[in-house]
């Protein structure tokens, strides 16, 4: 799943790693993205919503269905859904460089887990689902908003996957690859570690504007 991999070949590779996939709208036109391919100029979630009405467009691991979607729309973005049994996602919102976030986690011996750079200031961690995940996140301190935030995505949340493109033209990318959803780390220790970073402002030392 290199950076040059097409959306279609990525879509066909993910089921082998345990993910169900669905096709989403994409930034159009391809060379100079200006609007969502759904054609609604006021699209509330540009390039990040399913490209066909549910239920036919439910996420699937059916290679035939995935082939048909991407043959019809090679530029389609791709996504999966968080679910209560296989895939959970923690989001970190912070302007620190994602490489630095990972280095800091490594230095604290956090369990390695797949990591997506999902756009400016947004890093996503794939972990085992945890029904009590939200309980591990301390209430946000409004005076420390610059310290960033950690969010647990509820089951059933649409999550774009690399190499989907954002409206900026930027592509999502894996910072640490997904081997298989059966090998995801527990959510609680990572949530606790990220919450500690937020609480202590540890990530701010890595802020690109401050270093």
Residues that bind Zn ion (CB under 5 A): 25, 36, 38, 43
Work out how close the CB of 50 gets to Zn ion at its nearest, in angstroms, rounded to a whole number: 10
Work out how close the CB of 181 gets to Zn ion at its nearest, in angstroms, rounded to a whole number: 28
Nearer to Zn ion, 35 or 140 (CB): 35
Phi, psi of 209 (to 5 degrees): -85, -10
Q: 91 - beta bridge partners?
A: 124, 151
Work out how close the CB of 30 gets to Zn ion at its nearest, in angstroms, rounded to a whole number: 15
Nearer to Zn ion, 3 or 44 (CB): 44
Nearer to Zn ion, 25 or 136 (CB): 25
Q: 92 - beta bridge partners?
A: 123, 150
Question: Taking the CB of residue 205, how many other CB atoms lie within 10 A of it?
Answer: 13
Work out how close the CB of 48 gets to Zn ion at its nearest, in angstroms, rounded to a whole number: 8
Work out how close the CB of 137 gets to Zn ion at its nearest, in angstroms, rounded to a whole number: 30
Q: What is the dihedral of CA 172, 160, 165, 90, to 10 degrees?
A: -40
Nearer to Zn ion, 46 or 88 (CB): 46
Nearer to Zn ion, 36 or 118 (CB): 36
Residues 6+ away with beta carbon under 8 Å from 6: 74, 163
Whole-number Å distance between alpha carbons of 61 and 16: 8
Secondary structure element (H or E) that encloses residue 190, with its range: helix 187-200
């Amino acid at each position: 799943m290199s950076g040059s991999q097409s959306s279609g070949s990525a879509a066909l590779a993910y089921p082998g790693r345990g993910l169900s996939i669905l096709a989403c709208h994409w930034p159009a036109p391809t060379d100079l993205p200006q609007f969502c391919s759904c054609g609604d100029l006021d699209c509330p979630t540009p390039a990040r919503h399913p490209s066909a009405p549910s239920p036919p467009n439910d996420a699937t691991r059916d290679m035939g269905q995935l082939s048909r979607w991407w043959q019809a729309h090679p530029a389609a973005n791709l996504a999966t859904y968080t679910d209560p049994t296989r895939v959970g996602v923690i989001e970190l919102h912070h302007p620190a460089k994602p490489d630095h976030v990972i280095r800091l986690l490594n230095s604290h011996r956090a369990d390695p887990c797949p990591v997506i750079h999902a756009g400016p200031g947004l890093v996503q961690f794939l972990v085992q689902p945890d029904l009590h995940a939200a309980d591990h996140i301390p209430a946000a301190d409004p005076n420390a908003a610059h310290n960033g935030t950690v969010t647990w995505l509820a089951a059933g949340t649409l999550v774009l996957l690399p190499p989907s493109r954002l409206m900026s033209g930027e592509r999502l990318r894996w910072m640490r690859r997904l081997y298989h959803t059966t090998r995801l780390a527990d959510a609680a220790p990572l949530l606790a570690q990220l919450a500690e970073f937020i609480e202590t402002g540890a990530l701010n030392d890595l802020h690109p504007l401050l270093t």
